[in-house]
Copies of this chain bind each other. A is one copy, B any other.
Amino acid sequence: MHETLTVELGSRTYPIYIGNDTFSHENFLTQHIKGKQVFIVSNATVAKLYMPALLKVLNTVYQADTYLIPDGEQYKTLETYSRVIDELMRKRHNRSTTLIALGGGVIGDITGFVAATYQRGVGFLQIPTTLLAQVDSSVGGKTGVNHPDGKNMIGAFYQPSSVFIDVDALRSLPEREFSAGLAEVVKYGVIWDAGFFSWLEGNMQALLAKDRSALVTAIKMSCKIKALIVSEDEREEGVRAILNFGHTFGHALERMTRYTQFLHGEAVSIGMVMAADLSRRLGWLSCDDVSRLENLLEAGGLPTKFGQPINTTEMLSSMGMDKKVVDGKLRLVLAKTLGSAQIVESVDSQMLRDALISNV
């Protein structure tokens, strides 16, 4: 059982298969592999669960090599990238090879960047196994690694030729990581679709129970909304920025806590509440809207407050280093209503400080 979503990007249009059992069928995968070599990048945890099934499909038809990278954002570096390249060279993968990212966002981002740049670009398939990767990395073509001084500072826009989402993979995902993924799902409701936001309010328990049908709906809606936005602005020159709702705050929180305290989705959850609070101060959202958002995030098992005193000066400086700054001007994505977002070029800095301190 699966549904297919097509991401329309001209010559780079590709399908996302969402359901269960999506990548263990040979014809599914092989129709998207052009050459005779595949190279699967994963980590030990994920590989243990899914690599045997995947290799069973691929081993007889292709030169199938695998490479495991350590788990965690701290390994999303140019050094890890370089090691993957070394291994591709060592195993003599040519320009017709296809890279397969089997795992979460870190695996997808690194593997995608390798695919974008190995011999100036080779084939790329994604098998995202975390909710965050399924609803975020599946669409948009953002690939890359971190720099010691900033996240995702090195990378490329590179589209996969297809994405295989198996919702059953979420059953083995730790609850905390599942919730972190839900933050992005909620985000799509806030920035684009009031109906989807309401649907989430009614179906959060089914999602937490890993109900297959609810998961397929939530993931498909998330990918669809992201695809709509990305197809209008593939290289993030305009409207695409609304996908960063909560992220400028979230990134700053992650940076200030040195990426040790929050999962990305958790920081985004708190960041969205800060952004919503600022939207309320501008007269856009009502108090009730902000509460609905907080309640939905909490129902999803997410934090909505920073939980400790905040140094607003440090936080603002940290936000200023964010790459979403254009020529020194701080651009923020705020919510016009629950279901629509707006990019704001300048915000009263006292109002911003107030929104920060009232959400610690």
Contacts and interface: CB of A to CB of B under 8 A. Distances in A.
A121 B327 contact: no
Nearest to A158: B156
A118 B326 contact: no
B85 A119 contact: no
Contact of A327 (B90, B94, B150, B323): B94
Contacts of A113: 117
Contacts of A156: 116-117, 120-121, 156
Tell me if A's interface is mostly helix, strand, loop or mixed: mixed
Copies of this chain held together in the complex:
2
Nearest to A79: B82
Contact of A121 (B78, B95, B152, B157): B157
Interface string A153-192: 1111100000000000000000000000000000000000
Contacts of A154: 85, 117-119
Interface stretch (A129-137, A141-149, A200-208, A303-311): A141-149
Interface in A88-112: 89-90, 92, 94-96
Contacts of A157: 120-121
A121 B144 CA distance: 11
A323 B121 contact: no
B323 A95 contact: yes
A317 to B, nearest CB: 12
A153 B96 contact: no
Given A121-B156, A121-B235, 5 more contacts: A85-B147, A89-B149, A94-B323, A95-B323, A120-B144
Interface of A: 35-36, 78, 82, 85-86, 89-90, 92, 94-96, 113, 116-121, 142, 144, 147, 149-150, 152-157, 235-236, 321, 323, 325-328
